[in-house]
A = this chain, B = another copy of it.
Amino acid sequence: MQSYPSYLLENAVAQLAKLPGIGRKSALRLALFLLKQDKEMVDDFAKALMMLKSEVKYCECCKNISDSDICSICSDESRDKSTVCVVETIKELMLVEQTGQYRGLYHVLGGVVSPMEGVHPADLEIESLIKRVAEGGVKEVILALSTTMEGDTTAFYIARKLAAFPEVSITTIARGVAIGDELQYADELTLGKSIINRIPYKN
């Protein structure tokens, strides 16, 4: 156990070490870095984090984080409101947005079903998704979840719930060999899937 020459430093290090992937050594480095900055910079830094937590809103429609009650995606009139892409967290939402290939709306679950970690369907934004679909206007729900056990379980649970709306088509993102990957290093499962789900060759 390291002894700190100052309680203030020890406290700051303890707080920084709470961040994921930051150990006590890195935390000390970060604390000493902040100590070297202007007071104004450190205040701005700290306030940005407090504001993020205290002022951020969650979109009433898709549960994406937002500065207003309805997020910029849901309120964008040019987007296709009949398609809803279901993602685990806002991180995946941002990844899909970044591709520039999707012009529909989203629904952020806030996680995946994981009995091991005590995450049950009721803890996620699944009810609100079903309600959204029940209100009508949605023609397709794209399940863009990870192909982990938890992701698959969640997709299965949602698909079963959505079976009550046969007019809504449920799709999932394509699985296959990643672009730029060499075939010899692809795993059997992925390669198998990509053969089954082969598509017409276009130049």
A residues neighboring B (CB under 8 Å): 2-9, 11-12, 14-16, 18-21, 26, 28-35, 37, 39, 41-56, 64-67, 71-73, 89-91, 93-94, 97-98
Contact = CB atoms under 8 A, between A and B. Distances in A.
Contacts of A90: 5, 32
Number of copies of this chain in the oligomer? 2
A113 to B, nearest CB: 17
A113 B71 CA distance: 52
Given A5-B72, A8-B56, A33 B48 contact: no
B29 A20 contact: yes
A48 B53 CA distance: 16
Contacts of A49: 12, 15-16, 31, 34, 42, 45-46
19 contacts: A3-B94, A3-B97, A5-B65, A6-B66, A7-B67, A8-B55, A11-B48, A14-B48, A15-B48, A18-B45, A29-B91, A31-B49, A34-B52, A35-B53, A35-B65, A42-B49, A42-B52, A42-B53, A43-B50
B34 A42 contact: no
A4 to B, nearest CB: 7
Contacts of A97: 3
Contacts of A65: 5-6, 9, 35
Contacts of A39: 53-54
Contacts of A11: 48, 51-52
A46 B3 CA distance: 22
Contacts of A93: 5
B8 A51 contact: yes
B64 A5 contact: yes
A20 B15 contact: no
B35 A30 contact: no
Given A12-B52, A42-B50, 18 more contacts: A2-B94, A2-B98, A3-B97, A5-B71, A5-B90, A6-B67, A6-B71, A12-B48, A15-B44, A15-B45, A19-B30, A31-B52, A35-B52, A35-B53, A35-B65, A43-B50, A45-B49, A46-B50
